[in-house]
A = this chain, B = another copy of it.
Amino acid sequence: MSLTFFTPGPAQLYPTFEKHLQTFVSEQLGSISHRSQQYRDLHKFTVQQVRTLLNVPETHQVLFLGSASEAWERILFSCVELESFHLVNGSFSKKFHDYSQGLCKYAHLQEKPMGEGFSASEVIVPEYAELIATTHNETSSGVQMPVSEIHKLKQKYPDKFIAVDIVSSAPYPELDFNLIDTAFFSVQKAFGLPAGLGVWIVNEKCLQKAEYIRNQYSIGAHNDLPTLWKNALNNETPATPNVMGIYLLGKVAEDFNRIGVKAMRKETEQKADLIYKFIESTSGFSPFVTEKKYRSQTVVVANTEAPSADIIKAIKEKGMVIGSGYGKYKASQLRIANFPATSLEQIQSLLHALKAL
Chain A residues packing against B (C-beta within 8 Å): 2-3, 5, 7, 9-13, 17-18, 21, 25, 28, 30-34, 65-70, 72-73, 76, 98-104, 186, 188, 193-197, 217-224, 238-245, 321, 323
Contacts and interface: CB of A to CB of B under 8 A. Distances in A.
Q: What does DSSP make chain A's interface, helix, strand, loop or mixed?
A: loop
A63 to B, nearest CB: 13
Given A31-B5, A197-B196, A243 B25 contact: no
Given A218-B103, A221-B99, A195 B72 contact: no
Candidate in A12, A33, A98, A243 with the most chain B CB atoms within 10 angstroms: A33
Task: Specify how many copies of this chain sit in the oligomer.
Answer: 2
B13 A30 contact: yes
Given A34-B10, A243-B196, A222 B70 contact: yes
30 contacts: A5-B31, A9-B240, A10-B32, A10-B240, A10-B243, A13-B30, A30-B193, A33-B323, A34-B195, A65-B66, A66-B196, A67-B239, A67-B241, A69-B238, A69-B239, A69-B240, A70-B223, A70-B239, A99-B221, A99-B222, A186-B240, A188-B240, A194-B244, A195-B242, A195-B243, A196-B196, A196-B242, A196-B243, A196-B244, A242-B242
A72 B241 contact: no
